[in-house]
């Protein structure tokens, strides 16, 4: 399952995704991974949430990010939720060009029973139509 939290800068997306990760981490059955482009929110997460600064891994496109996420799942069999904050900053992609990525992410999610929650700095009304089904 994929969920997208969309909104303009300053609309509270990061707080929502942090709350989502923290709440999910209260359930011992859930392994939660939080991926961001820097370390600024590391201390806003419960200690049960695994934090990764993807900015340290030189991820430059959607294919690299997908491989990064697949590798994280491979190394952590207990992960059931992956939160990606600042999706567009992570890979600097125009959302209209992201259909391939979301199709593959859905396959990865279904295959490994991992839920993905992404924050996207974009007015929900301006999202490409293929992303509307993921909006929360």
The CATH number covering residue 116 comes to 3.40.50.300
Q: pTM of the full predicted structure? A: 0.94
Query: How high is the pLDDT of residue 27?
Result: 84
Coarse DSSP helix, strand, coil percentages of the chain, rounded to the nearest 5 percent: 50, 20, 30
Q: With a cut of 70, say whether residue 28 has pLDDT above it.
A: no
Please tell me the total count of domains within the chain. Answer: 1
Compute the Cα dihedral for 36, 4, 32, 97 and give only its sign: negative
Q: With a cut of 90, say whether residue 77 has pLDDT above it.
A: no
Q: With a cut of 70, say whether residue 126 has pLDDT above it.
A: yes
Which residues form the domain of 46? 2-134
The mean of the pLDDT values for the chain is 95
Q: What are 33-70's pLDDT values in tens digits?
A: 999 999 999 999 999 999 999 999 999 899 999 999 99
Strand partners, 83: 34, 117
């Amino acid at each position: 399952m994929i969920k997208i939290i969309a909104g303009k800068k300053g609309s509270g997306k990061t707080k929502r995704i942090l709350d989502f990760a923290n709440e999910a981490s209260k359930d011992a059955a859930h392994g939660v991974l939080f991926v961001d482009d820097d370390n600024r929110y590391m201390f806003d997460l419960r200690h049960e949430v695994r934090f990764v600064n993807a900015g340290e891994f030189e991820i430059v496109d959607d294919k690299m990010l997908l491989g990064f996420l697949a590798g994280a799942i491979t190394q952590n069999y207990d992960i059931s939720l992956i939160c990606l904050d600042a999706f567009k900053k992570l890979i600097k992609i125009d959302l209209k060009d992201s259909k391939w990525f979301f199709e593959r992410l859905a396959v990865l999610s279904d295959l490994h029973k991992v839920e993905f929650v992404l924050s996207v700095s974009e007015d929900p009304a301006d999202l490409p139509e293929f992303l509307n089904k993921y909006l929360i």
